[in-house]
Structure 1
Amino acid sequence: MFKKLLIANRGEIACRVIKTARKMGIATVAVYSDADRNALHVEMADEAVHIGPSPANQSYIVIDKVMDAIRQTGAEAVHPGYGFLSENPKFAEALEAEGVAFVGPPASAIVSMGDKITSKKIAQEAGVSTVPGYMGLIDDAEEAVKISNDIGYPVMIKASAGGGGKGMRIAWDDEEAREGFQSSKNEAANSFGDDRIFIEKFVTQPRHIEIQVLADQHGNCIYLNERECSIQRRNQKVIEEAPSPFLDPETRKAMGEQACALAKAVGYTSAGTVEFIVDGEKNFYFLEMNTRLQVEHPVTELITGVDLVEQMIRVAAGEPLSLAQEDVPINGWAIESRLYAEDPYRNFLPSIGRLTRYRPPEEHAAETEAIRNDTGVFEGGEISMFYDPMIAKLCTWAPDRAHAIELMRNALDSFEVEGIGHNIPFLSAVMDHERFVSGDITTAFIGEEYPDGFSGVDLAQDDKDKVVALAASMNRMAEVRRTRISGTMDNHKRKVGSDWIITVDREEFAVQVEARRNSATVIFEDGRRLTLNSGWTPGDSLAEVDIDGTPHAFRVQKITAGYRIRYRGADMKVHCYTPRQGELARLMPEKVPPDTSKMLLCPMPGLIVKMNVEEGQEVQEGQALCTIEAMKMENILRAEKRVVVSKINAEPGDSLAVDEVIMEFE
């Protein structure tokens, strides 16, 4: 077995690999850029080597710099994680030439399967059903339009060397094909150093289901069941689960056997993933093979008990698989939620900055439930604009799907993240969505259920009552404490009443509070009663409360005359008044936000890549105004209505902060 392993990656996946290597008694080496000097993976590793400036194309994807780090430290093997150099055959070849083991497949398999055009041709030759498309190289946007018309809209424009949603666009007409081709080409060049593009038919109402395979150097290949990855936004997976709520044993077996046949056809070794589109009739079509560890691998580990990183290391060391196909179980159900540094209320645009608070739920594993959190950040750390905006991968496991979902709901409610925008409210909303709970999902789920973007959650009345009861009981506790402050004799004589007016975003509730030590019963006007038991004390940012015997978690922040409470995806301002204060509060005018309708504001911190208009120009609804790049993704900002541009305040190359005025309209 290897004595020293270098991880050619960063963030949560580097931390994940280090944990397994440590368990196996293997010393680890981290590499880091300027931006990651104080990163968690650097802290966790036994050694760390600086490899360059912050941009990935000057550090993490520069083969020579990684090779220098290997030579400096004497690492015997390299795990590439995912992204960066993980599917770069030149890197695998460089390691082989240096006599260093690559914890991944042979370079020939990366060439065959890592290139999506080549992989489709091989899949077709192997008898695997594939989605109709054009597998040749495409020279320019006009050729892309012609090919798209030949295939028939809608089409998917994809980077041949792509992955992780980068370099992918859906086009529904000629104009979107032109724009999508250029944006995909630019993103592919920036993210992978390879701007080749191909086009395939976009299958409407599909499910995205993938098969995890594991193969050794002795001709053995097994599949570790499937993962359902249909909850996607902008072709980026958001929530994954294993197994799929849709597949039956026969379809699972057929997909697994085809995945293994494809892996064997190219001499694949190590862990890999074969991705399929599955339609409503359980017909499945090969999409691509990812010749690396997948982001969502934890859900497979949770239902099989197999440490995929350990297996990859053992395969790279020449060991045969210790598992046969009949040894692979499906034990319970696992769900993964990807926490991203992005603002769901701003169309999920990236958010950067310092994590002023980062408190994930406690990890644990028991016979009836488990919580796992793969992360590469820490409280006080920075979320950089240079890399993928993932904060963490929160996973839950339970004996069945319903319990795994409920466990995820509570874990999300108790996950404290402050200082940046994040998508926890959206993840919570999905967990409560009727379609998700029923398993009736497709890759179109987010577009269909949130066509105008995510604007928050309207709680059901039962859940709103819990928020009201919590606020009332917390407020009464705080008021009682204030009467006991030493040195203020009058306060000792003041009695705290039991009648309160609670407003939730200006909706009013009259309640009574019967308080006891560490518990309270809140009585509503119609006689309904909720009993709360809690160890919460004023100042705590997390309230873990039993309400009528059921555990709940609420994130709490004190505001004037009440609390900001976040629960099940809803973010509410809850005010607590005495009856007289409530009367006066009704007379207060509502604050009107400033009018920014005649301005184009920068929706995220980013770089202006292109300005599509000029001062004095009339633009039509939907017309492109400018392009902004942030976190390796290009975002085209469009006019919401017909307007005339009166002033432009930025130009290509400018770095802008969120809400900076890009241009003004007449």
Structure 2
Amino acid sequence: MVKNVNKLLVANRGEIALRVIRTAHEMGIPTVAIYAEQDRDAQYVQMADEAYLLHGDSYRSYMDEDLIIDVLRRSGADAVHPGYGYLSEIASFADKVIKAGATWIGPSPTALTDLGDKITARRVAKRAHVPPVPGLSEPVKDMRELLTFAQINGYPVMMKRTDGGGGKGITLVHNDDELRSFYMNHDALEGGDLDEYFVELFIDKARHVETQSGRDSHGNFTVYSTRDCSVQRRNQKLIEEAPAPFLTDGEREQLERYSRGLFNAVDYVGLGTCEFMVTPQHKVYFLEVNPRLQVEHTVSEQVCGLDLVREQINIANGGELTEAPQSHGHAFELRITSEDPDKNLTPSGGTLTRLDWPSGPGIRVDSGVKVGDVVSPKFDSMMGKLVVTAQDRPTAVARVRRALKEFRLEGVPSPKPLFETIFNDPEFTADGQPFTVTTKWLERKYLNRKPKSAGTGQPASLSGSEEQPKKQETDSFVIEVDNKRVKLTVPRDIVDNLMGSARARGSKRRTQPLRGSSSGAVEQKVKANDGKSGIIDSPMQAIVTRVNVAEGQAVAKGDLLVVLESMKMENYVYAPVNGTVRKIFVGPSDSVDAGTTLMKLDVDGAEQREKSGAVAGAAGGPASADAAKPAQDQAKEGDR
């Protein structure tokens, strides 16, 4: 049944929300945005026809299903586009949208359920006669299963969370000892999460290739393009290109046949991405289906010539998809993230003090930030995407080099220096070298090194010397009436008289800081977890997702203590020494700054030495003052 979208709620933020809003406006569809407090002045919010506040200042604001459904009803929107990430793959949210009488722009809740869990997705693949990466399609139950699998298939193996994605929830294990350690770490406490993991063989020399696919309610299927996403770190993509280079005709045929089978198996309606590993032996293994639009959809758009958001809306309306035309040209996407290449691409935050995007032939920029915006580790690290297209791969490489010379970004770190190195590396740029650049190439060649000294790539401070805009006759304010964003324009003399402003009194107007920069650049102070003090500090601004130990528990060097999430990437804090957990200061969902104390360990023998020092001090020995001081200091640390 053909329907019409009359008003579209975009249940996301940043550059993807802006991307969807632009296409909706081209189609004549009014849009509704949602925003957390920190996004109040974001570009996508300003461009939407209406915008509603979600209380809170972290990514969790965008995960509140019921609150967003309430906005859907209040705004009168009759369709929801989830973008990517957040609620885009959550079957319960899709179901609520449909039950509210609105159009869900994505696959059905049933398809999301079948494909959203990596174990059920493996089962779908086998039903569709698509070979997955060798592994066990059941949750982990006991140690013997894992050891038997590893002995038969060999190391390394990957422990993968069933609900993981975007590089999260993947642990590479190299031997029996590491496998046992993983098992104990994830089964250490009652309520451990071992049953949320399964095991796969790690395929070392392989390329990550995917198909941007579409299927409509009439059963039509197409592959808009292939993509190569092998340049990645921690299983998260950094550079993508389309079409995937170096594929044989047989590999391309397999990729399309497997993708069609996967979509047909779950009666998939909408756009999605089928991800595979391609080996030097021309084997194609299924990884997963991402049942949504992806970050890298831009390169597929560039080589197929279609607007994929428009395709999504048309398919959701009940229309037929556009058969993908023959691919033309070559495109690269560079993810511009607030990550420091001098610190192994560790996420960071700060205030953007300069942002000059390149332009000219073949340049596309998808970004949702501007100068003055604060980039917070509470959200995704991606500030934008630089997409470069040319008639062939060598020309596109040359165009990327030119674009990077024009690109200027200050205030937060970015991967620009690393991109410049990669696009001048013959291993990456040379034609006819299909398995030089594989999924671990970037980490092995350029990352996993000792970070440079503190201060490298730190946010630049604000100058405070920007010229003020010319005076206007009116002042405009963004206010919220019953949580709905409204722009209010008032004659300036009324504002001056009501507010008793300095201007009304004839004083010179004071220079204001850039928006969102209440205290200038973000400063991060990180303490070293060297184990000497027993104090375990957070290495970055992040959110605590899991505490893996309990007070009083003995830990060995290398045991997992805390899992942090910063900008959608998991970071692990391990015990630097043997000891006993004395005090835990944080819990799941807590926000922490760089240098925040997470927990205090009693390093083996330290507590006894403290007690001995205290006894000596009480006895009035010559070392009493010096011996007592560390105990007092450590007691203060324990109260933090």
TM range (shorter): 0.7 to 0.9
1:453 corresponds to? 449
1:80 corresponds to? 82
Aligned residue for 1:166, secondary structure, equals coil
Deviation, structure 1 residue 276: 0.5
Work out whether residues 231 and 238 of structure 2, in 8 Å CA contact, stay in contact via their aligned partners in 1.
Answer: yes
Output the CA distance in 2 between the equivalents of 1:639 and 1:33. Answer: 35
- Compared CA separation, residues 242 and 265, structure 1 to 2 (3 A): same
Output the CA distance in 2 between the equivalents of 1:76 and 1:424. Answer: 41
Q: How does 1:145-544 map to 2 (within 5 A)?
A: 152-174=154-176, 176-177=178-179, 196-323=196-323, 327-362=324-359, 364=360, 369-438=361-430, 439=433, 440-450=436-446, 452-453=448-449
* Range with bigger deviation, 111-120 or 331-340: 111-120
Output the CA distance in 2 between the equivalents of 1:141 and 1:34. Answer: 46
1:36 corresponds to? 39
Output the CA distance in 1 between the equivalents of 2:187 and 2:367. Answer: 30
Aligned residue for 2:423, secondary structure, equals helix
Output the CA distance in 2 between the equivalents of 1:206 and 1:250. Answer: 16
1:93 corresponds to? 95
Work out whether residues 610 and 627 of structure 1, in 8 Å CA contact, stay in contact via their aligned partners in 2.
Answer: yes
1:467 corresponds to? none
Work out whether residues 344 and 454 of structure 1, in 8 Å CA contact, stay in contact via their aligned partners in 2.
Answer: no
2:28 corresponds to? 25
Deviation, structure 1 residue 95: 1.7
Output the CA distance in 1 between the equivalents of 2:322 and 2:76. Answer: 29
- Compared CA separation, residues 623 and 321, structure 1 to 2 (3 A): closer
Report Cα offsets for 1:373-427 as digits up to 9, x if no partner: 1112111111122221111111100011111112112222322221122222122
Work out whether residues 170 and 180 of structure 1, in 8 Å CA contact, stay in contact via their aligned partners in 2.
Answer: no
> Which one of the candidate residues 129, 138, 141 is aligned to 1:127?
129
1:577 corresponds to? none
Query: Residue type of the partner of 1:606?
Result: A
Output the CA distance in 2 between the equivalents of 1:95 and 1:202. Answer: 38
> Which one of the candidate residues 27, 47, 50 is aligned to 2:50?
47
* Range with bigger deviation, 129-138 or 67-76: 129-138
Query: Residue type of the partner of 1:153?
Result: Y
Output the CA distance in 2 between the equivalents of 1:113 and 1:625. Answer: 31
Report Cα offsets for 1:585-617 as digits up to 9, x if no partner: xxxxxxxxx9998788753223566597999x9
Report Cα offsets for 1:452-493 as digits up to 9, x if no partner: 43869xxxxxxxxxxxxxxxxxxxxxxxxxxxxxxxxxxxxx
Aligned residue for 1:404, secondary structure, equals helix
CA RMSD in angstroms comes to 3.6
2:118 corresponds to? 116
- Compared CA separation, residues 40 and 279, structure 1 to 2 (3 A): same
1:652 corresponds to? 586
Output the CA distance in 2 between the equivalents of 1:249 and 1:657. Answer: 51
- Compared CA separation, residues 228 and 646, structure 1 to 2 (3 A): same
Report Cα offsets for 1:614-660 as digits up to 9, x if no partner: 99x9975x5667654433444234578xx799999994358654467
Work out whether residues 144 and 178 of structure 1, in 8 Å CA contact, stay in contact via their aligned partners in 2.
Answer: no
> Which one of the candidate residues 60, 63, 74 is aligned to 2:65?
63
* Range with bigger deviation, 239-248 or 163-172: 163-172
Aligned residue for 1:84, secondary structure, equals coil
Query: Residue type of the partner of 1:125?
Result: R
Output the CA distance in 1 between the equivalents of 2:564 and 2:282. Answer: 40
- Compared CA separation, residues 151 and 448, structure 1 to 2 (3 A): same
Output the CA distance in 1 between the equivalents of 2:294 and 2:267. Answer: 19
- Compared CA separation, residues 142 and 71, structure 1 to 2 (3 A): farther
Aligned-pair identity in percent equals 39
Deviation, structure 1 residue 112: 1.8
Output the CA distance in 2 between the equivalents of 1:317 and 1:237. Answer: 32
Deviation, structure 1 residue 199: 2.0
2:472 corresponds to? none
Output the CA distance in 1 between the equivalents of 2:30 and 2:169. Answer: 36
Aligned residue for 2:158, secondary structure, equals strand
Work out whether residues 12 and 41 of structure 1, in 8 Å CA contact, stay in contact via their aligned partners in 2.
Answer: yes
Work out whether residues 214 and 223 of structure 2, in 8 Å CA contact, stay in contact via their aligned partners in 1.
Answer: yes
* Range with bigger deviation, 99-108 or 302-311: 99-108
- Compared CA separation, residues 630 and 455, structure 1 to 2 (3 A): closer
1:534 corresponds to? none
Report Cα offsets for 1:433-455 as digits up to 9, x if no partner: 22111253100112221354386
Aligned residue for 1:134, secondary structure, equals coil
Work out whether residues 538 and 595 of structure 2, in 8 Å CA contact, stay in contact via their aligned partners in 1.
Answer: yes
Query: Residue type of the partner of 1:284?
Result: V
Output the CA distance in 1 between the equivalents of 2:185 and 2:28. Answer: 45
Query: Residue type of the partner of 1:107?
Result: P
- Compared CA separation, residues 308 and 261, structure 1 to 2 (3 A): same
Work out whether residues 426 and 454 of structure 1, in 8 Å CA contact, stay in contact via their aligned partners in 2.
Answer: no
Aligned residue for 2:70, secondary structure, equals helix
**Which consecutive unaligned segments of at least 5 residues does structure 1 have?**
457-593
- Compared CA separation, residues 431 and 181, structure 1 to 2 (3 A): farther
- Compared CA separation, residues 99 and 659, structure 1 to 2 (3 A): closer
Output the CA distance in 2 between the equivalents of 1:141 and 1:32. Answer: 45
Aligned residue for 2:62, secondary structure, equals coil
Output the CA distance in 2 between the equivalents of 1:378 and 1:184. Answer: 42
Q: Which has the higher contact order (CA 8 A, sep 6+)?
A: 2
Work out whether residues 555 and 575 of structure 2, in 8 Å CA contact, stay in contact via their aligned partners in 1.
Answer: no
Output the CA distance in 1 between the equivalents of 2:14 and 2:194. Answer: 23
Aligned residue for 1:52, secondary structure, equals coil
> Which one of the candidate residues 6, 9, 13 is aligned to 1:6?
9
- Compared CA separation, residues 626 and 145, structure 1 to 2 (3 A): farther
Deviation, structure 1 residue 145: 6.2
Query: Residue type of the partner of 1:6?
Result: L
Deviation, structure 1 residue 6: 0.7
Work out whether residues 210 and 228 of structure 2, in 8 Å CA contact, stay in contact via their aligned partners in 1.
Answer: yes
Work out whether residues 141 and 194 of structure 2, in 8 Å CA contact, stay in contact via their aligned partners in 1.
Answer: no
Aligned residue for 2:397, secondary structure, equals helix
The count of residues paired between Structure 1 and Structure 2 equals 512
Query: Residue type of the partner of 1:332?
Result: G
Query: Residue type of the partner of 1:631?
Result: M
Aligned residue for 1:318, secondary structure, equals coil
- Compared CA separation, residues 425 and 269, structure 1 to 2 (3 A): same
Work out whether residues 145 and 174 of structure 1, in 8 Å CA contact, stay in contact via their aligned partners in 2.
Answer: yes
Work out whether residues 140 and 194 of structure 2, in 8 Å CA contact, stay in contact via their aligned partners in 1.
Answer: no
**Which consecutive unaligned segments of at least 5 residues does structure 2 have?**
453-526, 607-640
Report Cα offsets for 1:205-253 as digits up to 9, x if no partner: 1110001111111110111221001111000011110112220233212
- Compared CA separation, residues 595 and 625, structure 1 to 2 (3 A): closer
Work out whether residues 159 and 185 of structure 1, in 8 Å CA contact, stay in contact via their aligned partners in 2.
Answer: no
Work out whether residues 157 and 184 of structure 1, in 8 Å CA contact, stay in contact via their aligned partners in 2.
Answer: no
Deviation, structure 1 residue 349: 1.5
